[in-house]
Structure 1
Amino acid sequence: MIIRSRRFRSALALFAMVAPGFLRRFVHTRLLGYRIDPTAVIGRSFIDVDRFEMGPGAAIGHLNVIRGLEDLWMAEASRIAHLNWINSVRRDKGFFEDVDRHLALIMGYNTSITIMHFIDCCAKVELVSRSVLAGYWTQVMTHTFDYRTARQDARPITIGERSIITTRCTLLPGVKIAERSIVAAGSVVHGQCRKPGFLYAGVPAKPVRELDFSQLFLTDELTIR
């Protein structure tokens, strides 16, 4: 029996957060309708989304709040660690009128979100395979106020394959990080980091140095652990 009432689903999500592991899985799969692989693991986190799928070996740690999304997809071996706030404003709230948006977090194969990040999913946020949101306190902001039109706007953010976003970065709406890139600590990314294989740094972030593709993280052989 899948519960459809928004209020009851939120209450069940809160109950699942404090319930024992076997009961938590029952609530998530049987009552909330989430598709969770038998080898996937969910800690004591609040997860209140419309649709959720976890692949083999995927994991969510403790004390995360994930709410308001239409879709949460976690591919094989993807991970969300602890104390992250992943949020969206639902369509029925009356914001973002006439804005085409997908309220989603899409995590590709072997991607990782570490600890204490804020991820705004008012538009889609996608981590392509083996990319990492590393360190602490990065803000991923998909929505903004457009002063020219006096309206809220939302645009998707993509972090390219094998790219690393380090500590205390800010990613602004519409950002696309090229594959095999590193964004240095404290950087503010506005627009698109188009050149793959570069270190981006500064406010706003600019390519400052080409990376050595022989470094372990940038090679095709590495699996993130």
Structure 2
Amino acid sequence: MRQALTTLVFLLPPSRLKNRLLRRLGHAIPDTAVVGINLVRRVDRFELGEGSLIHHFNLFRDLRLVRMGIGCRIMLFNQIVGDSGYEKGATPTDDLRTLRMGDDSHIISQHYLDCGGGIILGDNAWVTGIRSTLLSHAFDPTNGGVILDPVTIGDRAVVATSCTMLPGTVVGEGALIAAGSTTWTGQEAKGAHLHGGVPARRLAPIDIPRHVYDRARYQGPRDVVAPPNPPSE
């Protein structure tokens, strides 16, 4: 019943009443968050920071946790799913079927995020442009079955348009993954460098000026209040 009610409430237009209803259903949604019209199926819990935004027409499905820090944004027409985390024999971890976003991180539009093994964005991290694919699960050609390994985008790192991130990818702090690039399974992209190509390789040092991250930054209060404990099922 709770899951069905969550689905219905997420189809309402943004309002403080909507936020209150979601809190009644056990989600942590402050009044300063803006939650648009979205399709949500079988998501156990949302935890949104002050000033966070989930725009319209995103799909959230089969997730254990969506956690957004202060001032985060998820824009339009993204698919954020976690069904691969149900793979038989998967090792239980805190990352399975989760999306966790640090403060002031952003996911722009028309991206596909497979959160079965988990996706983690640091503070001021960006998945920008359109049509990037972040995959936290893949076929295991050595042992059979499925690899489940989180994709981690570090603090101030940027994934540009139309990229593919394979399971276990770690993008270091301040790195930039150029448009159209692909990382391989378990690749570590060195921080403060430009990476590009298929597969992505280190191209040159890069220093993204800190003022760049002030674009669209939430300017409201940043007092952090611990979210309430989720209701017992």
TM-score interval (norm. to shorter): 0.7 to 0.9
Distance 2:5 2:215 in 1: 33
Q: CA deviation at 1:147?
A: 2.2
SS, match of residue 188 in structure 1: coil
Partner of 2:21: 27
Q: Contact 1:130–1:224 (CA<8 Å) still a contact in 2?
A: no
Whole-Å separation in 1 of the counterparts to 2:191 and 2:16: 44
Partner SS for 1:36: coil
Distance 1:82 1:15, change over 3 A: same
Residue aligning to 2:141 = 147
Q: Work out which of the residue numbers 55, 60, 84 in structure 1 matches 2:54.
A: 60
Alignment of 1:94-113 (within 5 A): 95-101=87-93, 102-113=96-107
Q: Hey, what's the Cα distance between the residues in 1 that align with 2:173 and 2:91?
A: 27
- Residue 36 of structure 1 corresponds to 29
Distance 1:224 1:123, change over 3 A: farther
Give the letter aligned to residue 201 of structure 2. Answer: K
Contact 1:193 1:206 in 2 (8 A): no
Residues 105, 124 of structure 1: 8 Å contact kept: yes
The correspondence for 1:210, drawn from 205, 218, 221, is 205
Q: Which structure 1 residue ranges, 4+ long, deviate > 4 Å from structure 2?
A: none
Cα distance 1:222–1:86, how it changes in 2: closer, same or farther (>3 A)? Answer: closer
| Maintained 8 Å contact 1:56/1:77 | yes
C-alpha separation in 2, matches of 1:9 and 1:137 = 32
- Asked if 1 retains the 8 angstrom alpha-carbon contact of 2:175 and 2:189, the reply is no
Map of 1:4 onto structure 2: none
Does the residue aligned with 1:29 lie in a helix, a strand or coil?
helix
**How far off its partner does 1:67 sit?**
1.6
Deviation at residue 173 of structure 1 after TM alignment: 0.3
Unaligned 5+ segments in structure 1 are: 1-7
Q: Deviations over 1:166-209 (max 9, x none)?
A: 11100000000011011011100113334211110001000111
State how far apart, in whole Å, the 2-side matches of 1:134 and 1:42 are. 20
- Is 1:114–2:114 an aligned residue pair? no
Cα drift, residue 46 of structure 1: 2.1
Q: Secondary structure at the match of 2:202?
A: strand
In 2, the alpha carbon distance for the partners of 1:90 and 1:167 equals: 24
What is the aligned partner in structure 2 of residue 200 from structure 1? 195
The separation in 1 between residues aligned to 2:22 and 2:39, in whole angstroms, is 11
Aligned to 1:224: 215
Shift of 1:90: 7.0
- In the other structure, the counterpart of 1:187 is 181
- For structure 2, list consecutive stretches of 5 or more residues without a partner in the other structure: 217-233
Which residue identity does 2:33 align to in structure 1? A
Match of 2:152 in 1: 158
CA displacement at 1:9 relative to structure 2: 3.5
Q: Aligned-pair RMSD on alpha carbons?
A: 1.9
Secondary structure of residue in 1 paired with 2:2: helix
Counterparts of 1:114 and 1:195 in 2: how far apart (Å)? 23
Under a length normalisation based on structure 1, what TM-score does the superposition of the two structures give?
Answer: 0.87
Aligned match of 1:45 in 24, 38, 45? 38
- Tell me if the contact between 1:99 and 1:153 (Cα under 8 Å) persists in the aligned partners: no
Deviation of residue 23 (structure 1)?
4.6
Deviates more, 1:113-122 or 1:189-198: 189-198
**How many aligned positions are there?**
211
Return closer, same or farther for 1:59/1:175 CA change in 2, 3 Å cut-off: same
**CA-CA distance at 1:162 after TM superposition:** 0.6
Residue 220 (structure 1) shift: 6.8
Instruction: Quote the sequence identity (%).
Output: 31
CA displacement at 1:134 relative to structure 2: 0.2
Offset of residue 98 of structure 1: 3.9
